[in-house]
Amino acid sequence: MTSVKIWPLLLLSFSLLSMGKADCPFPDLSGQIILSPESIQKNNFPDNSDASVVCTKGYEKESGSDSIICINGTWSAVELKCKKIDCGLPEASPHMNYSIPNGTLFGALIKPICERKYDLEGSSHRQCLVNGWNGHPKCVLITCDEPASIAHGTFSKPRENPEVDDVIEYSCDDNYTLVGNRFITCAYWTYSAGPPTCKVIITQTTASMTTNTATTTATVTATTHSNVIITQTTASMTTNTATTTATVTATTHSNGRSLEIIIACFAVLCICLVCICLVYRYSKQRGSYNTGEEKRTKGELLPYQNL
């Protein structure tokens, strides 16, 4: 009888103990700590069970326990401490330095800078991520294409493939003169100026200098349109001066002889006119006696004389 009464009491005590134990809810974590992949796959967390916690991506364990325990439906305090991962200095790259204003921890940005005469290819910034620095920039040497060739001229360069700051020098063949820039410089993947040109030089002779004004004007006009440069030598200038002097002297003598001939002709003409006047006057006087007036007068006077 006594045993029958004790049994319900034991059941009641067991039920009371069972009611004091409860499952814990899904852990509510935030910030830098999350559940491990194994703990995330659990559907419930009974009393006295544990769960694993880890640092989120970009962070690593600094100190503390990496587990929490369910006690009477409540999780124990999280003791894990996390910190940002450090990517450290990026790997060295030829002719490249870095500007690091905000350190090398997770999320930081750095800027690659190339040495002079080199150009940056790739990303202009790198960032510290979970797996380290992203991007693969590099510095490449700045060069220029082969210089342009010119007609009737050539160029010289300091090396086979011109680099930045290299100077290219142009020159012309004999009897040609250079028009434009003799020196051009390799700048940022191109040259500082375009190539020059070579123009032919024409030296005038005495024959070409003794042409008339119209021909000379036409020659100069044609020369200007064809971009031909004309020079005159000292010998030709001396010859032209002597030729011009001789021409002027000959012209002066010719003009003097012509004047003498004109004066002589004028004198002869005056003499002829005087002679003609004299002949005409003499003929007129003789004609007055031949008119018969004297005979008629004498005939008329004879009767009176006879009287």
pLDDT digits (tens, 9 = 90+) for 166-221: 999 999 999 999 999 999 999 999 999 999 999 999 876 655 444 444 444 444 34
**Neighbouring-strand partners of residue 74:** 71
Q: What was the pLDDT predicted at 269?
A: 83
Domain count, the chain: 4
Q: Does one domain contain both 132 and 154?
A: no
Hey, is 33 helix, strand or coil? strand
Lowest mean per-residue pLDDT among 31-45, 105-119, 156-170, 267-281: 267-281
List the beta strands (DSSP E) in the chain.
33-35, 50-55, 59-63, 67-71, 74-75, 81-84, 96-99, 109-114, 118-121, 126-129, 132-133, 138-141, 153-156, 167-172, 176-179, 183-185, 197-204, 229-232
CA-CA-CA-CA dihedral for 147, 150, 155, 161, to nearest 10 = 20
Q: Is residue 54 part of a domain?
A: yes
> Is residue 291 very low, low, confident or very high in pLDDT (cuts 50, 70, 90)?
very low
Least confident of 48-52, 115-119, 272-276: 272-276
User: Does 227 have pLDDT greater than 80?
Assistant: no
Looking at the structure, tell me whether residues 187 and 225 fall in a common domain. no
- Within a domain: 257: no
Tens digits of per-residue pLDDT, 4-46? Answer: 455 444 444 444 444 456 899 999 888 899 999 999 998 889 9
Using 50, 70 and 90 to split pLDDT, how confident is the model at 158? very high
pLDDT at 58 over 90: yes
Share of the chain above pLDDT 90, in %: 53
| Residue 180 placed within a domain | yes
**pLDDT bracket for residue 284 (50, 70, 90):** low
Whether 284 is in a domain gets the answer: no
Which residue matches tokens 């021409």?
247
Q: What is the mean pLDDT of the chain?
A: 77
Rounded to whole angstroms, the Cα distance separating 241 from 131 reads: 91
Cα separation values, 259 from 47, 76, 266, 271, 273, Å: 150, 143, 11, 19, 21
Q: Is residue 181 part of a domain?
A: yes
Assess whether 126 and 169 both reside in one domain.
no
The DSSP call for residue 2 is H
pLDDT at residue 256, as a whole number: 57
Does 166 lie in the same domain as 131?
Answer: no
The strands making up 183-185's β-sheet, listed across from edge to edge, are 153-156, 167-172, 183-185
Q: Render pLDDT for 59-86 as a digit per residue (tens, 0 to 9).
A: 999 999 999 999 999 999 999 999 999 9
Closest CA to 201 of 169, 174, 236: 174
Phi, psi dihedral angles at 211 (to 5 degrees) = -70, 165
Q: What is the CA radius of gyration of the chain?
A: 64
Residues 27 and 64 occupy one common structural domain = yes
Whether the Cβ atoms of residue 133 and residue 108 lie closer than 8 Å to each other: no
Cα-based distances in Å from 175 to 201, 224, 225, 230, 231: 5, 17, 19, 11, 11
Domain contains 5: no
Confidence at residue 272, expressed as pLDDT on a 0 to 100 scale: 81
195 DSSP assignment: -
Q: Is the pLDDT of residue 114 over 90?
A: yes
| CATH code assigned at 183 | 2.10.70.10
User: Same domain, yes or no, for 161 and 193?
Assistant: yes
Say if 7 falls within a structural domain: no
Task: Tell whether the model's pLDDT for residue 100 goes beyond 90.
Answer: yes
* 209 in the same domain as 194: no
Is 296 inside any structural domain? no
Count CB atoms within 10 A of the CB of residue 110.
21
The β-bridge relationship of strands 229-232 and 126-129 is unpaired
- Domain containing 128: what range? 96-141
157, pLDDT greater than 90: yes
